[in-house]
């Protein structure tokens, strides 16, 4: 059956203690014994039982990701990239990444407590933060270790990784203004989400800075999907004073916006400019190619992964407030000249 320390101990005529210490390179084990133990362990095909280790060490060596089914879809390319990179960091560190799906918003907060209480995980990863996030309030209150993907609008102190959406939006809007646009629309997900909040903030700020009026009815809310972008664009374009440029909260929405424009017989870029957020692979290959604000997804994943590992190990997180800078990628959907 399965080989334990006891089996090795019996075989080499030493105590379990010594075997354990030999395998962990303690100094009070003679080189001969160490070698013997090593060899025997190898021979017998010993694999340590991490469950026993976890019990003794009072560590789960695992990180939990609780995914609201109504939250970021796994199929969101950006999120998938973040997740992959984070999973990679976590795996490399020898920890487990544990994914659970939760459906009802009222179940949103209990699973965190439960999973940590049950010692399934040492630390949790909160994604898709909202401006006033109950989950984070709860985790802070219960002193449960966690790292957030995104900020909140409270002045709570906790480790996070986020993208500077406001700045990204600012440079995007500035660019559109320079191209001559005066009526610019923004279609994003719910403004409850911190990311969207900052997008709107950057949006308004840029307009103000250039002395332009802010038309509140050009700031709309829609689903973060292609369909959502499509619908939003239809609404916007049917206004008497339709916008000459539409910014979408993410690239999938932007693709939907483009579809809507084309379906109305208009031309993207010349009639209505379009831009998105994210820079997913499709942005580069759509027709026309999509101007967008590139989000460094992989880097985000790496950083959040590393922070989670530190947090799970109970270490101080060296740099707990990370705000990554996005990059404006100009393509055909805003720049006619780029369209051959």
Partner DNA sequence: ATGATAAGCCAAAACGTTTTGGCTGTCAAA
Partner DNA sequence: TTTGACAGCCAAAACGTTTTGGCTTATCAT
Residues within the interface to DNA (CB under 7 A): 2, 4-6, 13-18, 20-21, 23-24, 28-33, 46, 48-49, 52-53, 55-58
Binding to a copy of itself by residue 271, rule CB under 8 A?
A: no
In contact, 295 and 277? CB cutoff 8 Å: yes
**Residue 282 interacts with which of a copy of itself, DNA, none, CB < 5 to 8 Å by class:** a copy of itself
Q: Does 261 bind a copy of itself (CB under 8 A)?
A: no
What is the DSSP track for 244-308?
SEEEESSHHHHHHHHHHHHHTT--BTTTBEEEEEE--HHHHHSSSPPEEEE--HHHHHHHHHHHH
Q: In terms of DSSP bridges, do strands 291-294 and 327-329 run parallel, antiparallel, or are they unpaired?
A: antiparallel
The least CB distance from residue 37 to DNA, in Å, is 9
Q: Which token pair is 316? A: 């101080």
CB 298 to a copy of itself: min, Å:
11
* Site for a copy of itself contains 226 (CB under 8 A): yes
- Residue among 105, 213, 287, 336 that touches a copy of itself (CB under 8 A): 287
Identify what 33 binds: a copy of itself, DNA, none; CB under 5 to 8 Å per kind.
Answer: DNA
- Is there binding between residue 318 and a copy of itself (CB under 8 A)? no
DSSP labels, 137-196: HHHHHTT--EEEES--SS-----EEEE-HHHHHHHHHHHHHHTT--SEEEEES-TTBHHH
Q: How far is CA 224 from the centre of its chain?
A: 15
Report how far residue 210's alpha carbon sits from residue 222's, in angstroms, rounded to the nearest whole number.
27
- Residues 111-150: x/- map of binding to a copy of itself (CB under 8 A)? --xx--xxxx------------------------------
- 96 lines the binding site for a copy of itself (CB under 8 A): yes
CB 216 within 8 A of CB 156: no
Interacting residues toward a copy of itself by CB under 8 A: 2, 47-52, 54-55, 60, 62, 67, 69, 73-77, 80-81, 83-84, 87-88, 91, 96-102, 113-114, 117-120, 225-227, 230, 255-256, 259, 262, 281-282, 285, 287
């Amino acid at each position: 059956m399965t080989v334990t320390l006891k089996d090795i101990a019996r075989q080499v005529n030493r105590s379990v203690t010594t075997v354990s210490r030999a395998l962990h390179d303690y100094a009070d084990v003679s080189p001969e014994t160490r070698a013997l133990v090593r060899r025997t362990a190898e021979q017998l095909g010993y694999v340590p039982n991490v469950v026993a280790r976890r019990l003794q060490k009072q560590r789960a060596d695992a990180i939990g990701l609780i995914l609201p089914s109504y939250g970021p879809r796994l199929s969101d390319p950006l999120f998938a990239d973040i997740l992959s990179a984070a999973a990679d960091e976590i795996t490399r560190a020898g920890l487990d990444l544990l994914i659970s799906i939760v459906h009802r918003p009222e179940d949103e907060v209990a699973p965190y407590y439960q999973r940590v209480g049950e010692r399934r995980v040492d630390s949790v990863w909160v994604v898709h933060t909202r401006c006033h996030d109950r989950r984070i309030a709860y985790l802070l209150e219960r002193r449960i270790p966690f790292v957030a993907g995104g900020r909140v609008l409270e002045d709570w102190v906790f480790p996070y990784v986020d993208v500077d959406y406001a700045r990204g939006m600012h440079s995007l809007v500035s660019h559109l203004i320079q191209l001559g646009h005066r009526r610019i629309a923004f279609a994003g997900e719910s403004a409850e989400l911190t990311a969207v909040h900052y997008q709107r903030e950057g949006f308004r700020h840029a307009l103000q800075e250039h002395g332009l009026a802010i038309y509140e009815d050009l700031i709309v809310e829609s689903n973060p999907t292609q369909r959502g972008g499509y619908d939003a664009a239809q609404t916007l374009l049917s206004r008497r004073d339709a916008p000459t440029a539409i910014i979408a909260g993410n690239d999938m929405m932007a693709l939907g916006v483009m579809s809507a424009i084309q379906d109305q017989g208009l031309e993207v870029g010349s009639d209505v400019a379009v831009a998105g957020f994210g820079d997913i692979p499709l942005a580069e290959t759509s027709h026309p190619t999509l101007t967008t604000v590139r989000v460094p997804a992989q880097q985000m994943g790496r950083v959040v992964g590393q922070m989670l590992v530190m947090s799970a190990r109970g270490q101080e997180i060296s740099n707990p407030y990370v705000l990554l800078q996005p990059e404006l990628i100009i393509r055909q959907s805003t720049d006619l000249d780029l369209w051959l």
